[in-house]
Amino acid sequence: MAELMEQSLLAMREGAQATRDTGAACDRIGSAFDDMRSAAERLVDTAAEISTFVAAIDALAQQTNLLALNATIEAARAGEAGRGFSVVATEVKALSTQTRKVTDDIRQHISGLQAHVTALVETANGVGARLDDSRNATERANRHIQDVEGAVERNTASMDMIAGLIAGQKDATVKLEEGIASTLTHVSASEIFANEVVGAVSATDSVVKAQFASLEAFEIKNYVLHRAKSDHTLWKKRLAGMMAGLEGLRVDELVDHHSCRLGKWYDHVADPVLRNHPDFRALVKPHEEVHVRGREAAKRYADGDLVAARAAFEAMNVASTEVLMRLDRLIAAFQ
């Protein structure tokens, strides 16, 4: 980035110089148009003077025509003696007529010339105005480019400083990477130990289930409640393993609160003393919440929404605590 900023600064300086050159060229073109406009204005004045001369010549031709007419009249009065004078008067009249025709042609050409010169002056004025606008725009652009050039210079200096800081941080980054690699090594070892512990805990599941299976042959008071506590704890452990990524668990593997061991027992209790016990009546709501929230946690985890899955697991855990508390109270009440 520092190198790119250096290149941008060079390009900006070249652009500023090009803008200044453009402004100078506009000034030269403006001066040339000013000279052309002055020459056109002088040409208009000259055309006006020529028109004055033509008007004078036309007036002289008209006066000559009148004199030739008078001379013709006098020659006619003189008869044979004035015949020669009459020929001269006719020639003078013809010359006067030709002079007037030429002056008319000159006047028309002068009028056309004046129209063209006037258009030329107007065009020159318009071009001059545009040149003034271009000159002003170039000056504004030059000022803006100078401001940008200053900003680029400041940014270039800042980028050079940042580049120096980054270069200085390279050694620290290398050391940090070495520390991270060492930490990852320790973490990997810790993960191996944690997996071994989880595996050992998982191995106890089968032992607990086997022990409870062997106890079913004996008549143990409140056996169903003890077994329900065990099933409940193992069920919650499977959810915890799923949240830790150590166990796969599908939603259809989790039954509702009527289909588990505790639910089946609860729905078929007929003893009125037990059914009217406050902990028994209060057990159904948190037990249902445990299953609903547990199934929701499994579904959210399968969908990849870990935040929602964690929230559902926490809600399940709160309800589970109350279920275990109610079971302990019932076990204590019906010893």
Specify the number of domains making up the chain. 2
> Tokens standing for 302?
């399968």
pLDDT value of position 310: 94
Q: Tell me how long the chain is.
A: 335
Q: Half-sphere exposure of residue 187, counting CA atoms within 13 Å on the CB side? A: 6
Q: Examine residue 87 and state whether it is found in any structural domain, yes or no.
A: yes
Q: Which of 115, 137, 172 is the last residue of a domain?
A: 172
- CATH code at 286? 1.20.120
Q: Examine residue 185 and state whether it is found in any structural domain, yes or no.
A: no
pLDDT value of position 25: 79
User: Is residue 175's pLDDT more than 80?
Assistant: no
Domain boundaries, position 256: 219-333
pLDDT tens-digit map of 92-141: 777 777 877 877 787 787 777 778 777 777 777 777 777 777 778 777 77
Tell me: do 84 and 158 sit in the same domain.
yes
Tell me: do 232 and 314 sit in the same domain.
yes
- Which run of H or E residues covers position 334? none
Buried b (16+ CB within 10 A) or exposed e, 155-169: ebeebeeeeeeeeee
Tell me: do 146 and 239 sit in the same domain.
no
Model confidence band, residue 193 (pLDDT cutoffs 50, 70, 90): very low
Q: Examine residue 88 and state whether it is found in any structural domain, yes or no.
A: yes
> Tokens standing for 259?
């289909």
Model confidence band, residue 317 (pLDDT cutoffs 50, 70, 90): very high
Q: How far apart are CA 132 and CA 26, in angstroms?
A: 8
Q: Examine residue 187 and state whether it is found in any structural domain, yes or no.
A: no
Q: Which of 172, 188, 204 is the last residue of a domain?
A: 172
- CATH code at 41? 1.10.287.950
pLDDT tens-digit map of 26-58: 778 777 767 877 777 787 777 777 778 677 776
Tell me: do 73 and 162 sit in the same domain.
yes
Q: In 3D, which of 312, 320, 143, 160 has the Cα closest to residue 228?
A: 320
By percentage, how much of the chain surpasses pLDDT 90? 15
Residue 85 near residue 78 (C-beta atoms within 8 A): yes
Tell me: do 33 and 167 sit in the same domain.
yes
pTM above 0.85, yes or no: no
Rg of the chain over Cα atoms, rounded to whole angstroms, equals 58
Q: Which of 107, 142, 172 is the last residue of a domain?
A: 172
Residue 255 near residue 292 (C-beta atoms within 8 A): no
Q: Examine residue 190 and state whether it is found in any structural domain, yes or no.
A: no
Which of residues 323 and 234 earns the better pLDDT score?
323
Tell me: do 144 and 254 sit in the same domain.
no
User: Is residue 61's pLDDT more than 70?
Assistant: no
Residue 221 near residue 334 (C-beta atoms within 8 A): yes
Q: Examine residue 71 and state whether it is found in any structural domain, yes or no.
A: yes
